[in-house]
Structure 1
Amino acid sequence: RQVARLSQELGREAIRDWSGKPPDPTPALYALAWLVEQKPPALTEAAALVDVHAFFVHRLTGRLMTSTASADPLGLLDIANCTWHPRLVEAAGLRAEQLPELSTPGAVCGTLLEGIAAATGLRAGTPVVAGAGDGQAMGLGMGVYGPGKSYLSLGSGVVSGNYSGTVTTSDAFRTLVSPTGSGFMLETVLRSGMQLVDWIVRTTGSPSAAVLERAAMTVAAGSDGLLVMPYWAGVMSPYWDGAARGAIVGLSLDHEPKHLFRAVLEGIALEQAIATDAMEEQTGKAGAMIAAGGGTNSTLLMQIMASVLERPLLVSPVNEAAALGAAMLAASAIGWFASPEDAAKAMAALPARQVDPVEALVPIYRARKEIYRDLYHATRDIHARLGAA
């Protein structure tokens, strides 16, 4: 309700262009607007409203400071100027003086207090460095810090990002501050990624995902007419529709769990392909796409993803790429490297392997993508009516 209200009052495109985020329940802006409506003293009497980054910096150093690349999810940032946006701050029911100071990623926010040092075993005076959001830090850890590369995280959700030197906003992606503090990251998000694989295992009573995957490898591309729209948790880019839900289309008496398993992997890949196409209309096609996350352990998913995206996928050997990205910012902050970009050049690991498209599958999935592209539009009103009922 708050998303609809603020979209009407401020303008949907204005919110998107100010914050870089199309209206969606994810940014804290809408929860804050609800809070000020339901429990006004909670915000009006608060000394400060902070994100997680600012909370930890305050506890560690005594300073109320956050990174522009970490404050993004609040939905209150003027993305073009990296300052708090007065209209968004007002819409959230806040005052400017309640918000933390902003710094660029990789800046030193302060040093560790003696009391905290004693409690943690760390050395007093240790620099505390401004970080970035998990997606941006992950991209940096995978070596994506400038044009020409993109990242693909195959975790519980599926996140991809491309670098843009200039601020650009669209419903096709959300715009974030770059983890280096220079430029921006354009990011697409599919909420239901590898957690859908867990769902299939639980729902079908299969012994494990590995057992299902081996069976699914015997199923032909296209899953014998089965098509899955993986919106089990709604959809962010490009439709920003929290009422959307998953759809399984084409079921017959001949289908088994192995067909559903393959169809889910194909649905995730088809969704990513459409998201990537829309993003690359703005940024140009990336020369390399670097993948990380638990999904890279699935031979079948990687084969399908490369074939649907029609490009090779370079697999990062680093499981915790976001932590590596944070380490790059710290290494730059203390002078080991001249900039976060230089740190990334030196510290990013070489790809562990490359997964190439299967030539025979490319035309099959290209035709399938055109059918999939219409599935959301065909079911959108049904999902809205079901939700209302």
Structure 2
Amino acid sequence: MPRSQRRIHMFLGIDLGTGSSKAVLTNSDGAILDTATITHQVSLPRPGWAEFDAENTWWAEVIGLCGELFARNDPTRVAGVSISGMGPCLVVTDAAYTPLRPAILYGIDTRAEQQIEDLNREFGEDAIYSTGGKVLSSQAVGPKLRWLADQEPEVFAAARHWFSCSSFLTAKLTGEYILDHHTASQCDPLYDVHRQDWIPERADAIAGHIPMPALAWSTDIVGTVTDSASALTGIPAGTPVCAGTVDAWAEGFSAGVRIPGDLMLMYGSTMFFVQVLADFHAHRQLWTTAGVEQGTLTLAGGMSTSGSLITWLAHLFGDAPMETLMAEALDAGPGADGLLVLPYFAGERSPILDPDARGTIIGLTLRHGRGHLVRAALEGICFGLRQSLELFESSGQPIQRILAVGGGTQGTLWTQLVSDILGRTQIIPEQTIGASYGDALMAAIATGAVPPETDWTCMARVVEPDPASAQQYDFLYEKYCQLYPATAGHMHALAKIQRGGA
């Protein structure tokens, strides 16, 4: 049969990110056939809380994205589906998968500080680090489950399942109660990263009557689209669905970050970095996790704000066009005329793991304008990234390649600042749509349409560091590293006031 008459299969990848939801249709060669995007905002009902309505935002947006795509494309051509999402999150539901409260988000939600202390005492900090490859932090799901039991016992008692973002949506599509290994490995202290399985005694102590979801690898087919989900989304009933994963790991997969030593930088609302490991390595300020592919391990870290900080500044400046702000930031020059910013506007994850850290701007004068502030914020994000990558190097796994992905790579200033401040080359793929593209590749692999080793990545450009600014940035980096220890006590006192304390 001539190629023009063949039925070309499509693969649907959907990603629910912090700032937007995206969907992509590809063919088995990785060509993008169509895309759709819906923007949304995180709910911040109290200081330290970050939530989403899983049913009326996440699931509704999946339905909306599918409706948009299938208004332009034949849904019967969809041969496989995969979903990724922000994570790890905590969604608790009844037996019918109806959420009982808003979803509690990943590390930017810092409500469970007391439960982190409680679980460290209960199981031992060293034992948790040994089995999970990381210390308990606001990123972990276990303390948030305990918080729910402590603070909302009626909700906890009514819960029959618990999910992360991607696994909740997979359940809505398939009716299956599963969780991918990578996401599970961020649900400390419930998962043993060495055995790559749940720890039953900790599950009993933390989740209680709520059973653990079945574990699967990201490219495993875990079910098919149900009749009821098909009626809502338009995806044909019976279409295979694979397990999916957390958005940052799907984005790394999309960029071909699959070889030991490869490191992905994800430029988004938050900044995330994931390195593939040849064997087990750990650092107390980073996270060792299961990878996307069976039996693999990764080392990771993430900042609590990055693109979201720049968006916040844009709102403060009257929703000024981002292009204008970036042009003014470029004109401000290296060092922003003596400004430094600690980008801890939602606490901080890597490298300081301090939910009570607070944003700091130092060096302001009446001469500074909004371009200086945007420039200093971008540089502060880059300095924080430099701190974390120094920890990666000291963990024993050298960084061989840096691949940059995400919406922030579409401009030039931010990526150039990262290379200048790190003193490292970055490779930027041609396709920067992100996690949803990695999801589509997972679906293609899961259904056998392409071999497991398939990589759709094509490189678009390389960003080289500019040595002219190296000395100035080295000086500012030294001051940046000194600023947090010098001000942490004041930050914590102010954070207590923000939570309603004396």
TM over 0.5, shorter chain: yes
Alpha-carbon spacing, 1:53–1:310, altered in 2? closer, same or farther (3 Å): same
CA deviation profile, 1:280-322 (whole Å, cap 9, x unmatched): 2225332221112222233222221111111111122323321
Which of the numbers 276, 282, 288 marks the counterpart of 1:163?
Answer: 276
Q: 1:337 to 1:203 in 2, by over 3 A?
A: same
Q: Which residue of 1 aligns with 2:221?
A: 108
CA displacement at 1:162 relative to structure 2: 0.7
The Cα shift of 1:21 comes to 4.0
Which stretch has the larger CA shift, 112-121 or 139-148?
A: 112-121
Question: Cα distance 1:179–1:379, how it changes in 2: closer, same or farther (>3 A)?
Answer: same
- The 1:117/1:211 distance shift into structure 2, 3 A limit, reads closer
Q: Once the 2 structures are TM-superposed, how far is the Cα of residue 143 of structure 1 from its aligned partner?
A: 0.6
Deviates further, 216-225 or 113-122: 113-122
Structure 2 residues without counterparts, runs of 5 or longer: 1-113, 497-501
Q: CA deviation at 1:100?
A: 1.5
When structure 1 is superposed on structure 2, of 222-231 and 326-335 the one drifting more is: 326-335
Q: Does the 8 Å contact 1:163/1:283 carry over to 2?
A: no
Q: Tell me the CA shift for residue 39 of structure 1.
A: 4.1
Q: State which drifts further: 296-305 or 259-268.
A: 296-305
- 1:301 alignment partner in structure 2: 414
- 2:80 matches 1:3: no
Does residue 370 (structure 1) correspond to residue 478 (structure 2)? The answer is yes
Classify 1:168/1:226 alpha carbon distance in 2 versus 1 (closer, same or farther; 3 Å). Answer: same
Match of 1:82 in 2: 196
State how far apart, in whole Å, the 1-side matches of 2:205 and 2:435 are. Answer: 32
Corresponding residue for 1:358? 466
Q: Distance in 2 between matches of 1:215 and 1:121?
A: 45
> Which stretch of the first structure deviates more once superposed, 142-151 or 67-76?
67-76
Task: Provide the alpha-carbon RMSD of the alignment.
Answer: 2.2
Q: How big is each residue's C-alpha offset from its partner over 1:108-130, in whole Å with a ceiling of 9 and x where there is no partner?
A: 11233344445543333322212
Query: Matched residue of 1:152: which SS?
Result: strand
The alignment status of 1:32 with 2:145, answered yes or no, reads: yes
Which residue of structure 1 aligns with residue 86 of structure 2? none
The separation in 2 between residues aligned to 1:38 and 1:254, in whole angstroms, is: 48
Q: Aligned-pair distance for 1:382?
A: 1.0
Q: 1:200 to 1:56 in 2, by over 3 A?
A: closer
Distance verdict in 2 for CA 1:211–1:11, change over 3 Å: same
Greater shift after overlay, 300-309 or 36-45? 36-45
Q: 1:135 — aligned with what? A: 248
- Paired with 2:295 and 2:315, the residues of 1 have a C-alpha distance of 44
Aligned equivalent of 2:488, options 376, 380, 384: 380
CA distance in 2, matches of 1:329, 1:237: 28
Moved over 6 A (4+): none
Q: Partner letter of residue 148 of structure 1?
A: G
The amino acid across from 1:28 in the alignment is: V
Q: 1:225 aligns with which of 338, 348, 368?
A: 338
Q: CA deviation at 1:354?
A: 1.3
Cα distance, 1:152 vs. partner? 0.7
State the Cα deviation string for residues 99-150 of structure 1 (Å, max 9, x = none): 1111122111123334444554333332221212111111010110121321
Code of the aligned partner of 2:182: A
Aligned residue in 1 for 2:179: 66
- Give the 5 Å matches for 1:140-159: 140-159=253-272
> Shift of the alpha carbon at 1:277?
1.0
**SS class of match (1:74):** coil
* Segment drifting more, 132-141 vs 198-207: 198-207
- 1:372 maps to amino acid: Y
What is the Cα deviation at residue 6 of structure 1?
1.6
| Alignment: residue pair count | 383
Q: 1:310 aligns with which of 423, 426, 450?
A: 423
More strand by share: 2
User: Residues 331 and 343 of structure 1 are in contact (CA less than 8 Å); yes or no, is this contact kept in structure 2?
Assistant: no
Q: Deviations over 1:232-271 (max 9, x none)?
A: 1101122211100011112223222222121111111111
Residue by residue, what CA displacement relative to the aligned partner does 1:187-232 show, whole Å, maximum 9, x if unpaired?
Answer: 1111110111122222234732222222222223112221111111
- 302-311 vs 205-214, which deviates more? 205-214
Cα 1:165–1:214, aligned 2, differ >3 Å: closer, same or farther?
same
